[in-house]
A and B are shown apart, each in its own frame.
Chain A
């Protein structure tokens, strides 16, 4: 089980699930969860390549940075969702349709 291909397959699956969640989910929070999956798929790739690929530690450091940035992004995104919820009593993406074309 511990070879590069396994990890790459898992991260590719995470990536696809994340993109799928972003495209199909209506709630903004679920869309954000999809985004977290995609970001962590990237992080998993970095760690896997670092461990099984070439042995450089840069990949591990990159994964740390990705986690921190994902947290910062989630904090700002949740604040924006909360504000929209206060105005519209809904945090669904397809209710945000004031601005079109």
Chain B
């Protein structure tokens, strides 16, 4: 039998490249980290070019286990872009070690596979390939008890959620008799409602994905892991595995729509997604209000953002095909793109603050508007964008999501989302007030640590898309819509 491996070209290049980087590392004496970082960035750029070149080859490959379509292309480019920025960020903390880059690239290899997974087995294996290197990354500061504890919590919750997920998959396999996702959706749709078993299976699967993207009630690990992990790695965690979880959810949406149909089931997928989304965003925003640490605050804010993104899936569940589905899919991807830039940008500034002050408490940035105007201004822009104020990217992202939700006739959810935006304004503004309206303490003399210029350069590199996507959004929105159909 002839097996065509061309759709695997991006993954093959990445896998081969990772092995080559490991071998290369053996011969390096100095700058191991920097060389590996540059190699990793080049590798990802090649993957992006190959992916974009192959965007016309739509089809299902390898006995139905892998699918290549517009969504695959979009997610692969998204993962690569987020990882390139994270790798650049990582070079400050780990200039002499190559291992974090290799682990990060392995995790990205899993995401690339996940973007094209069309079978529950390949989806599960890809999701584990994303997770297992992340556990090691979370505990990378071996001597730091906080980092070790973050890794412990990450790995235990991760193992629990993959256990729940595989049990859910086994129930779905039992009901439908196939592991292929589109066939499974067809079987479930033709059999009608199977009631309890299908519903339980789907809820368990959502729990597994909910862990990856930090949905309530699978979010407990999130603030602790974000606080304990090294900051550049937290920046990576806050964007890329989350996007990977949503990529998996996209693939599974037909199964959710067929197994928990709008009429006749025990519980409809629309209800499930609406409730989880509303609870997640409210919980994330309320939790963020009390935080004193910037990293913890951003962790709760990222939980809230997962809730916002899930709104798009509620709209897809309400209308699994047609215009509303296309709009919602576009809105979700557009939001992920804007979230990538604004959230990574915010973490870059937090990393700069931590490097400069040795702490990530909100109190240390008192009066930064006067003492460090550029980072303070950058952070303010990213936080305004995360709130969703015009004319920044976050506003457009939220606007598209709300448009999709209203089109899906989920008006209550839209109202809850708007109210949540108001809550989030409160805690984002609190940071901005601390920086611009409060005077710096006389007692704290600025430490004369060298300014990492690449950090500011990276801040600017994330700033430009955050500003541009807020005004010139139409082109990219049209491009995304053309690929999600």
Contacts and interface: CB of A to CB of B under 8 A. Distances in A.
Interface of A: 8, 11, 15, 18, 22, 28, 31-32, 35, 38-39, 41-43, 45-46, 48-49, 53-54, 56, 58-59, 61-62, 65-66, 69, 72-73, 76-77, 79-81, 83-84, 87-88, 93, 96, 98-101
Given A41-B167, A58-B121, A77-B155, A98 B146 contact: yes
Given A61-B121, A77-B159, A99-B228, A84 B164 contact: no
B179 interface: yes
A91 B308 CA distance: 37
Contacts of A80: 135-136, 139, 148, 151-152, 155
Contacts of A93: 152, 156
Interface of B: 120-121, 124-125, 128, 132, 135-136, 139, 142-143, 145-146, 148-153, 155-156, 158-160, 162-164, 166-167, 169-171, 173-174, 177-179, 223-224, 227-228, 290
A96 B132 contact: no
A81 B159 CA distance: 14
A93 B163 CA distance: 19
A42 B163 contact: yes
A98 to B, nearest CB: 5
Contact of B167 (A45, A59, A83): A45
A76 B164 contact: no
B145 A88 contact: yes
A100 B156 CA distance: 16
Contact of A83 (B132, B148, B164): B148
A73 B43 CA distance: 27
B178 A56 contact: yes
B209 to A, nearest CB: 15
A32 B428 CA distance: 38
Contacts of A59: 170, 173, 179
Given A65-B125, A69-B128, A53 B177 contact: yes
B128 A35 contact: no
Contacts of A35: 156, 159-160, 163
Given A39-B162, A66-B166, A73-B158, 13 more contacts: A45-B170, A49-B174, A58-B173, A58-B179, A62-B170, A65-B121, A69-B125, A83-B139, A83-B148, A88-B145, A93-B152, A98-B145, A99-B224
B163 A38 contact: yes
B159 A42 contact: no
Most buried by A among B125, B142, B158, B173: B173
A76 to B, nearest CB: 5
A76 B121 contact: no
Nearest to A88: B145
A65 to B, nearest CB: 6
Given A49-B170, A77-B156, A96 B124 contact: no
A59 B176 CA distance: 12
A97 to B, nearest CB: 8
A58 B178 CA distance: 7
B124 A65 contact: yes
A66 B158 CA distance: 15
> Would you call the interface of chain B mostly helix, strand, loop, or mixed?
helix
B332 to A, nearest CB: 28
B59 to A, nearest CB: 21
Quick one: which of B153, B159, B162 has the most chain A CB within 10 A? B159
Contacts of B156: 22, 28, 31-32, 35, 77, 93
A25 to B, nearest CB: 11
A45 B139 contact: no
Contact of A87 (B148, B158, B162): B148
A79 B174 CA distance: 35
A31, A32, A39, A100 — most chain B CB neighbours (10 Å): A39
B171 A72 contact: no
B188 to A, nearest CB: 14
B135 A45 contact: no
Contacts of B149: 84, 96, 98-99
Contact of B152 (A41, A54, A84, A100): A84
Contacts of B160: 22, 35, 38
A45 B177 contact: no
B161 to A, nearest CB: 10
A57 B282 CA distance: 44
B206 to A, nearest CB: 16
A62 B174 contact: no
A73 B136 contact: no
Contacts of B178: 56, 58
A38 B164 contact: yes
Choose among A11, A48, A62 the residue with the greatest number of B CB atoms under 10 Å from its CB.
Answer: A62
Contacts of A45: 167, 170-171, 173-174
B12 to A, nearest CB: 20
Nearest to A49: B174
Contacts of B124: 62, 65-66, 69
Contacts of B142: 83
24 contacts: A8-B174, A18-B163, A38-B164, A41-B167, A42-B163, A42-B170, A43-B166, A46-B170, A46-B173, A49-B174, A58-B121, A62-B124, A65-B124, A69-B125, A69-B162, A76-B135, A80-B148, A80-B151, A81-B152, A83-B142, A84-B145, A84-B148, A88-B145, A98-B149
